[in-house]
């Protein structure tokens, strides 16, 4: 569960998030949509504890206050972020990385999970090096499953993907959903949301939630764009 109360975030003197309230209950999937530069990535970064931003307000994960925690403590409290542009880790294979993410798993268990996420062929290759966009996103979701978080922040997991890759990424998210993990999915476009069970949609404009609602909001955005908010 993720509970955010009156979250404000700034870089230097510039306020980017201007008071966000958001409750994502355990197992729910919420979509955050909005125009470029509205603060969607900032919201993910600030929940993850990125130190480029100063913030005020309250962030709770499963009733634990993580507002003043450092990034690694937040990770240990069950916050996982997948990046819009996953970074490569030259010199580290995906298998080594996987063993590091979840040391309790055996190599056999990791291989099984890798099959589920269609990343077996990447296990002995360097993390995110020379992979296509879709392959990187599958690896990100594999890492998500390994870390078994309470809250997964997926920032534009659909960006740069062709329609088939978007569908397969959505299928992997669906396969992995359970009653424990909450999802915050950031996207510009409705395409990926058509394949997901979305509990709530939030439209962020200029650092604030302009409107929240059910799946119908996706249609509203599709037909009227973001200028209506």
Nearest approach in angstroms of CB 113 to ligand ADP is 30
According to the binding rule CB under 6 A, does residue 213 interact with ligand ADP? no
According to the binding rule CB under 6 A, does residue 39 interact with ligand ADP? yes
Token output for 126: 């360097």
Nearest approach in angstroms of CB 169 to ligand ADP is 18
Among 11, 64, 107, 171, binds ligand ADP (CB under 6 A): 11
The 41-80 contact track toward ligand ADP, x by CB under 6 A, reads xx---------x----------------------------
Query: For residues 139 and 145, what is the distance between their CA atoms, to the nearest angstrom?
Result: 10
Binding-site partner at residue 225 among ligand ADP, Mg ion, none, CB < 5 to 8 Å by type? none
Enumerate binding residues for ligand ADP (CB under 6 A): 11, 16, 34, 36-42, 52
């Amino acid at each position: 569960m993720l509970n955010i109360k009156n979250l404000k975030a700034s870089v230097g003197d510039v306020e980017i998030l201007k008071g966000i309230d958001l409750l994502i209950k355990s197992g729910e999937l919420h979509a955050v949509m909005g125009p470029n530069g509205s603060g969607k990535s900032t919201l993910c970064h600030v929940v993850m504890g990125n130190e480029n931003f100063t913030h005020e307000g309250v962030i709770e994960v499963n009733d634990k206050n993580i507002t003043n925690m450092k990034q690694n403590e937040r990770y240990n409290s069950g916050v996982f972020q997948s990046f819009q542009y996953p970074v490569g880790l030259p010199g580290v294979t995906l298998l080594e990385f996987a063993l590091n993410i979840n040391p309790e798993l055996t190599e056999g268990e990791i291989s099984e999970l890798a099959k589920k996420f269609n990343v077996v062929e990447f296990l002995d290759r360097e993390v995110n090096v020379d992979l296509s966009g879709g392959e990187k996103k599958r690896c990100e979701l594999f890492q998500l499953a390994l870390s078994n978080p309470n809250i997964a922040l997926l920032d534009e997991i659909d960006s740069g993907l062709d329609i088939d890759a978007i569908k397969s990424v959505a299928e992997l998210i669906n396969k992995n959903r359970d009653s424990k993990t909450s999802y915050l999915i950031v996207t510009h476009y409705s395409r990926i949301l058509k394949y997901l069970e979305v509990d709530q949609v939030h439209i962020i404009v200029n650092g604030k939630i302009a409107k929240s609602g059910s799946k119908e909001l996706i249609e509203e955005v599709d037909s009227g764009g973001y200028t209506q908010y």
